[in-house]
Chains A and B, each alone.
Chain A
Amino acid sequence: MYAQQVDTGLAKVQSNAEMDAAERAFQARIDADVKIEPTDWMPEAYRRTLIRQIQQHAHSEIVGMLPEGNWIGRAPSLKRKAILMAKVQDEGGHGLYLYAAAETLGVSRDKLVEDLHAGKAKYSSIFNYPTLTWADIGAIGWLVDGAAIMNQIPLCRCSYGPYARAMVRICKEESFHQRQGYDIMLSLARGTPEQKAMAQDALDRWWWPSLMMFGPPDADSVHSAQSAKWKIKLLSNDELRQRFVDQTVPQADYLGIAMPDADLRWNEARGHYDFGAIDWSEFHNVLKGNGPCNRERLAARVEAWEDGAWVREAAVAYAAKEVLRQKEAA
């Protein structure tokens, strides 16, 4: 997902016997579905894990503005241009809400941004793939936002109050994103042969990276189990991935384009689609920085930040002068 692999800093899931009294009381509140708020006591590992998770999510929103922003200038109609501008703007807003949620845990946004720029913080692997055609904008809305929503809806119930509240707002705003993507795909599917080919090509390139968004298989992750116990991860990677496949296959069928997976078929006994093996070496390589666009994405963020430094400094200097002037006037 947007937070694909969040390190909890723990070697294994903490059992109740290993907890001290404060930790047990904390776990009891979580088990009773009481929300944890910024000023409440919390285990350091919970706080640090949340910061990592929320900032991965926030960075993903901000970096995610780039591949889609790539097409604002070339949107094929004025209506599509307005929708895309509003959508990319929303991603900025979502990043902002999430950074603010992380800030309640005692870390500043500038510090989080520095970590991103220094390569110390992760963001979703999906945004390191290029948007080569207009159909990619459709595929991102349909698949990437579809996958994101699937993960985000349960997070509205997560244990940390500010994070849950940010997710509620984000989910409300995000509901149009997936539809606009599918709407683009529909227009292409009903269009000229060239447009249909464009839609198929986009699905071919985005399908597997979309499945990787849900993160590695559950069996590989001790962190997932601890996060589940803390209720900051409510459904497992594999569970969400299966739901996503089940939901998306009929949508592709309706578009009349083919999933790039020879092993994909309905399994009557399981009541789910079976699908082919995911190339996890690609996933790990993209996370490591070897994706097709890692360098460009980070460079664009760093450039915006550095080019904007004098603007941010000027605003601070002006505010200080104003305070002084008000004091003198009083």
Chain B
Amino acid sequence: MTSANAGEWPLWEIFIRSQHGLAHKHVGSLHASDAAMAVKNARDVYTRRNEGVSIWVVRSADIVASNPDARDELFDPASSKVYRHPTFFPMPEDVKHI
């Protein structure tokens, strides 16, 4: 991020795990002066309606992302490997449980 003022609280990315056993999911961001405060602020901001049972916080500055300009070379090759999907293999109707 650019142009953070001196003294501005850093930005944190918030991940919440809901009650249903799914993985932590990114829900948004917020500001906090340190990690402990970020967890508490996340509880107050992002779980006001019973949204979660577990919170992860990560400094936004610490997130490493793939290069959007490399989107084609990173992700297009997978689209030609259709044999990785079960629907690629038609099964005879009489064969069950497979």
Residues of chain A touching chain B, judged by Cβ–Cβ distance below 8 Å, are 37, 39-41, 86, 89-90, 93, 96-97, 100, 103, 106-111, 165-166, 169, 173, 312-313, 315-316, 318-319, 322
Q: Which residues of B contact A100 (CB under 8 A)?
A: 11, 28-30
The answer to whether B68 touches A111, judged by C-beta atoms less than 8 angstroms apart, is no
The interface residues of chain A lying within 8 Å CB-to-CB of B27 are: 169
Partner of A107, one of B2, B33, B48: B2
* Dominant secondary structure of chain B at its interface with chain A: loop
Contact partner, A108, options B1, B30, B33, B49, Cβ 8 Å = B1
Q: Is B22 an interface residue (CB 8 A)?
A: no
A-contact 0/1 string along B1-33, CB 8 Å cutoff: 111110111010000000000000001111101
**A322 to B34, Cβ gap below 8 A?**
yes
In the complex, the answer to whether B7 meets A312 with C-beta atoms within 8 Å is yes
Measured CB to CB, the closest approach of chain A to B71, in angstroms, equals 9
Nearest chain A residue, comparing its CB with the CB of B35: A319
Closest chain-B Cβ to A101's Cβ sits at a distance in Å of 9
Within the complex, what minimum Cβ distance (angstroms) separates B14 from chain A? 10
Q: Across the interface, which residues of A come within 8 angstroms of B37, CB to CB? A: 315
- With beta carbons under 8 angstroms apart, the residue of B3, B28, B48 that contacts A111 is B3
A39 to B69, CA, bound (A): 9
Q: Are A40 and B68 in contact (CB under 8 A)?
A: yes
Residues of B within 8 A of A318 (CB): 33-34
A103 touches which of B5, B11, B65, B67 (Cβ 8 Å):
B11
CA–CA, A316 and B6, complex, Å: 10
CA–CA, A245 and B22, complex, Å: 43
The answer, yes or no, to whether B45 is at the interface (CB within 8 Å) is yes
A109 touches B31 (CB 8 A): yes
Whether A103 and B1, one on each chain, are in contact in the complex, defined by CB atoms closer than 8 angstroms, is yes
Q: Assess the B45–A96 pair: CB atoms within 8 A.
A: yes
Residues of B within 8 A of A165 (CB): 28
Contact with A along B63-88 (1 / 0, CB 8 A): 00101110000000000000000000
**Bound CA–CA A330/B31 (angstroms):** 27
Bound CA–CA A315/B34 (angstroms): 8
Query: Is there an interface contact between A315 and B9, defined as CB atoms closer than 8 Å?
Result: yes
Q: Are A312 and B9 in contact (CB under 8 A)?
A: yes
How far does the alpha carbon of A315 sit from the alpha carbon of B65 in the complex, in Å? 29
